[in-house]
Structure 1
């Protein structure tokens, strides 16, 4: 690992069981350490001023709910400053929505819940970092969506939502879907999100079965994607 690139990855959590999942082992194998920050509890300043990679994870709250969750406004302000400095940043689900908002795009409630496993439609531009996901089902778990920020490059869409992933330059990556989903951790999602699942009348045994069918393949593809992306960050 380059001595110029920090060897600790900071992860901002909004929900205890939505962690780095399968990506954590990928980072350890690449020689990184991981430190978590709890949004709404910890001071996030250090995480957002970190010169190395910071990852903003998912959660059930909305970007626009700052009146109910005041910490979100500080998080958004810190994120805006981070993105202006073009520091390496990944957003997953809520994290992607926060990045879109911080870049000036609209984030809003979608027309339908997108929860479950399905394939992406990948954009056809050269060097799409998500190209290993071609034909691979990924885990979706969201109700909000966002417009594509100006100067951002669309990477993927789904049948329900056109904006599933984008990047801005080579340092900023936003993923609406859960690329970090791990084969051995779905049960805590099914328990923790039971109210949402029942309200949406979703088939919990089917979600569990699809996880057993698809999660291992996603883990392999996620490892390939992030191993390559980390390499480009370190070498830059």
Structure 2
């Protein structure tokens, strides 16, 4: 298996995705888009494209000119038929390339949140009926044309979607390991404001033991599905 990982900023990679790929002896091409010397690999022999998260908006081409090239690459990947997994910003990028609007939500979502898994039909991936995952985002998006909703929450209707058999976008972060979550709590504590949808550092840290391992296992099951 040859997997390409698109990274948008140095401190936010694919987390547990890369651990899973290494365990399955995959060939991994990590593309650091924030590095001016990045090279986007040809898609002819790519089996899986993983699009990571990041703090920027998909509309920030003026600050991050590589977004334009990335969007075109994602569109090519969609058309090529390779499997694609989008994580948070990655899901928004997929949605935008399928014609969906990406916009600021009425409130943030930072911390551990319970989602409802949906089962549109037998041809889509099935999440558990309820599951708890790490969220760290402000934007939301409409369901892309031709997509099926896989998971939802009261504040963010489109938590996960699937297009065809091999494209899945996740608004949440099952890839974050315990160490990565602790890093975010420490280095981005200024985002943990006393506002609706934002949990305190203590609440998030207590949730690591309860939820992080299960979220990584959920991601592993999803990667198996995309790799079949």
TM-score normalised by the chain length of structure 2: 0.89
Aligned to 1:179: 174
1:23 aligns with 2:17: yes
Preserved contact between residue 6 and residue 50 of structure 2 (Cα < 8 Å): yes
Relative to total residues, which structure has the larger strand share, 1 or 2?
A: 2
Aligned to 2:142: 147
1:150-179 Cα offsets, whole Å, 9 max, x none, are 111111111111111111111211111112
Cα offset, 1:202, TM superposition:
4.4
| Corresponding residue SS for 1:26 | helix
2:26 to 29, 32, 36: 32
Aligned to 2:209: 212
Aligned to 1:224: 221
CA distance in 2, matches of 1:221, 1:151: 24
Aligned to 1:79: 74
Equivalent pairs, count: 224
1:165 aligns with 2:160: yes
Aligned to 1:120: 115
Aligned CA RMSD, in angstroms, stands at 2.0
CA distance in 2, matches of 1:213, 1:30: 26
Identify the range of structure 1 (186-195 vs 66-75) with the bigger mean alpha-carbon deviation: 186-195
